[in-house]
């Protein structure tokens, strides 16, 4: 197997749209027994191993149909963006900094599916 110069490390976040946030929280916490995940003191989803399952109500996407958001963690999102561009991949959202903590961008696969990628500006610790 060759090296992957894009350096995708793991699936960091899967965000899903929900119609009824209270019902979704009950399902993921009580039915599935997942542990809650908090960001800036706000409950935003659940842990699945090292992956965060985020619940998004009133998202920019239609909520009547499933539309998960998958975010891949990289060492440096700007380097990943450059490498994707060099491979002719369509960048749908250039890298931007969020919350002074994460650099986040997205690209489209061959079928038009959007994948997000992110890196910490400084590793938490």
CATH number of the domain that residue 67 is part of: 3.10.180.10
pTM, two decimal places: 0.64
Residue 4 lies in a domain: no
Q: Is 1 part of any domain?
A: no
Q: Which domain holds residue 72?
A: 10-120
Tens-place pLDDT, residues 33-58: 889 999 889 888 899 888 998 888 87
Q: Structurally, how many domains does the chain consist of?
A: 1
Residue 1 pLDDT exceeds 60: no
Buried b (16+ CB within 10 A) or exposed e, 31-62: eeeeeebeeeeeebbbeeeebbbbbbeeeeee
- pLDDT band at residue 96, thresholds of 50, 70 and 90? very high
pLDDT in tens, 68-89: 678 989 999 999 999 999 989 9
Q: Is the pLDDT of residue 23 over 90?
A: no
d(CA 48, CA 89): 29
| Two tokens, residue 1 | 């197997």
Identify whether 3 is part of a domain: no
Asked whether residue 84 is assigned to any structural domain, the reply reads yes
Assess if residue 5 is contained within a domain: no
The DSSP call for residue 82 is H
């Amino acid at each position: 197997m060759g090296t992957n110069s894009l350096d995708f490390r793991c699936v960091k976040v899967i965000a899903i749209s929900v119609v009824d946030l209270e019902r979704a929280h009950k399902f993921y916490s009580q039915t599935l027994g997942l542990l809650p995940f908090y960001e800036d003191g706000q409950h935003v989803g659940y842990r699945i191993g090292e992956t965060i399952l985020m619940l998004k109500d009133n998202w920019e996407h239609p909520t009547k149909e499933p539309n998960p958001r998958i975010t891949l963690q990289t060492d440096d999102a700007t380097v990943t963006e450059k490498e994707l561009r060099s491979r002719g991949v369509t960048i749908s959202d250039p890298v931007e900094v969020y919350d002074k903590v994460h650099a986040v961008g997205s690209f489209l696969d061959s079928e038009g599916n959007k994948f997000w990628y992110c890196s910490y500006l400084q590793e938490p610790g």
